[in-house]
A and B are shown apart, each in its own frame.
Chain A
Amino acid sequence: GESVGLHLPTLSVQEGDNSIINCAYSNSASDYFIWYKQESGKGPQFIIDIRSNMDKRQGQRVTVLLNKTVKHLSLQIAATQPGDSAVYFCAENQETSYDKVIFGPGTSLSVIP
Chain B
Amino acid sequence: EAGVAQSPRYKIIEKRQSVAFWCNPISGHATLYWYQQILGQGPKLLIQFQNNGVVDDSQLPKDRFSAERLKGVDSTLKIQPAKLEDSAVYLCASSPRTSGSYGEQFFGPGTRLTVL
Identify the A interface with B (CB < 8 A): 4, 32, 34, 41-46, 49, 51, 89, 91, 93, 95, 97-106
The answer, yes or no, to whether B43 is at the interface (CB within 8 Å) is: yes
Q: Do B104 and A98 have beta carbons less than 8 Å apart?
A: no
Identify the B interface with A (CB < 8 A): 4, 31, 40-45, 48, 55-56, 91, 93, 97, 99-102, 104-110
Other CB < 8 Å A-B pairs besides A99-B97, A99-B100, 9 of them?
A43-B93, A46-B106, A49-B102, A98-B48, A99-B101, A100-B56, A103-B43, A103-B44, A106-B40
List residues of chain A with CB within 8 A of the CB of B99.
98-99
Q: Given the interface contacts A104-B42, A105-B41, does A43 sit within 8 Å of B108 by beta carbon?
A: yes
Total A-B residue pairs with C-beta atoms closer than 8 Å?
A: 56
Q: Do B107 and A43 have beta carbons less than 8 Å apart?
A: yes
Partner of A102, one of B45, B107, B108: B45
List residues of chain B with CB within 8 A of the CB of A44.
43, 91, 105, 107
Kindly report which residue of chain B lies nearest to residue A90, judged by CB atoms.
B42
Question: 3 shortest A-B CB distances, which residue pairs?
Answer: A43-B107, A103-B42, A46-B104
